[in-house]
Amino acid sequence: MDLCDRNDIQALLARHGFRFAKSLGQNFLIRGDVAEDIAAAGCVSGCGVLEVGPGIGALTVQLARRAEKVVSVELDKRLPPVLAETLAGYDNFSLIEGDVMKLDLAAVAAERFAGLRPVLCANLPYNITTPFLTACVHAGCFEQLTVLIQKEVAQRICARPGTGDYGAFTLLMQYYTQPELLFTVPNTCFMPPPKVTSAVVRCVTRREPPVQVKSEETFWRTVRAGFALRRKTLVNSLQTGWQLPKERLTEIVIACGLSPTVRGEALGLEEYARLADALAEEA
Ligand code: SAM
C-alpha cells in the first residue's frame, strides 16, 4: 500500500469508515517525496522522534525508517486501528492516544527516549501550532523541532525586526531556537487541500540564550508589552505592561539608546534585553 497514493488512501479510509475532521486539522500528506524530505530534515543520527498527529502514517513511516524510535501522539480515536495496519512492520514505532496539549513533553521525552537524542517532527494540526510550539520551547527537551505548518506562521517564526511578520512569538522562538524556513509545500500536496500554502521550518534549540537578561520574567513582560499596541510607539505600548509615568518610560527608552518615537516591532532581542534590564531596576 502506498500511503501517499490517493486511491490507496481512499480505499484504506473507506475500509475503516473514516471521514476527515476539519476541527482536528486533518490535512493528510499525499506526496511521498515531501514526507521523505521532512523526515530527512527532522531526524538526526541516533534520534528518538516525537510526532504529533500521525494521521494514517505517511510521515510516520518515513520517520521510522530514519530514527531509532518514533513515538506518535494521536487524538482521533478512529486512527489507531488504521495505524496498526499501516505501521505494522515497524517495531520502533509506538502510539500514545490522546491530546498532545495535555502531555508533559519533558516527561515523555525522558521516559521514551532515554539514551537517544530527542527531536520533534510533525505535520502539525494548524489549530494548535502556536500553543504547541510554545509548549515545546518551554519544555526544553528537544534538540530540534521540524514542523510543517502554515507558511504565514513559518514566516512569523523566522521574521526580522521591522517587518509585518515580526512579533512576540518571533522573539519567543528565536530566543530558544535558531529557526530556518526550509521549503514551502503547496496545498495540492494534501488531502483534503487546505486553503493556505504550508512551509517546513526547522528550529534548532540553542544551548545558551542569545542574550543574557537579569530576569526572564521581566524580559517576557517587556516583550509582550512592547508588541501590545502595534500601531503606537514603544513608550505607549509599554504602558500596557508597566505602571510607570509616560515621562519615566520615555527616559528609560532614551537611556537604552532608542528613539522616543520608536515602535516595539523595530527592536531585536538585544534591544529588548537592554530595555528589560533597565525596567527591572524600576520594579
Ligand atoms: N501526519 C499526518 C500526515 O502528515 O499526513 C497527518 C497530519 S494532520 C495535518 C494532523 C493530525 O493531528 C491528524 O491526524 C489529527 O487527528 C491530529 N491531531 C489534531 N489535534 C491533535 C492533538 N491535540 N493531539 C494529537 N493529535 C492531534
For residue 283, pLDDT over 80 is answered with no
Average pLDDT over residues 29-36: 97
For residue 120, pLDDT over 90 is answered with yes
73 touches 219 (CB < 8 A): no
Distances (CA, A) of 280 to 48, 169, 215: 40, 22, 7
Instruction: Look over the chain and give the mean of its residue pLDDT values, rounded to a whole number.
Output: 97
66 touches 43 (CB < 8 A): yes
Average pLDDT over residues 3-23: 94
Does ligand 1 have an atom closer than 6 angstroms to the CB of 170?
no
Residue numbers of the domain that contains 11: 6-205
Cis peptide before 210 (omega within 30 of 0): no
Say what the pTM is: 0.96
What's the gap in Å between 74 CA and the centre of ligand 1?
Answer: 6
Domain C-terminal end among 183, 205, 227: 205
Count of structural domains, the chain: 2
Together in a domain, 36 and 176: yes
Q: Best of 75, 87, 195 to mutate for ligand 1, by most ligand atoms within 8 A of CB?
A: 75
Together in a domain, 225 and 108: no
Helix, strand, coil percentages in the chain from 3-state DSSP, rounded to 5 = 45, 20, 35
For residue 11 the three cell numbers come to: 480505499
For residue 1, pLDDT over 90 is answered with no
Together in a domain, 134 and 222: no
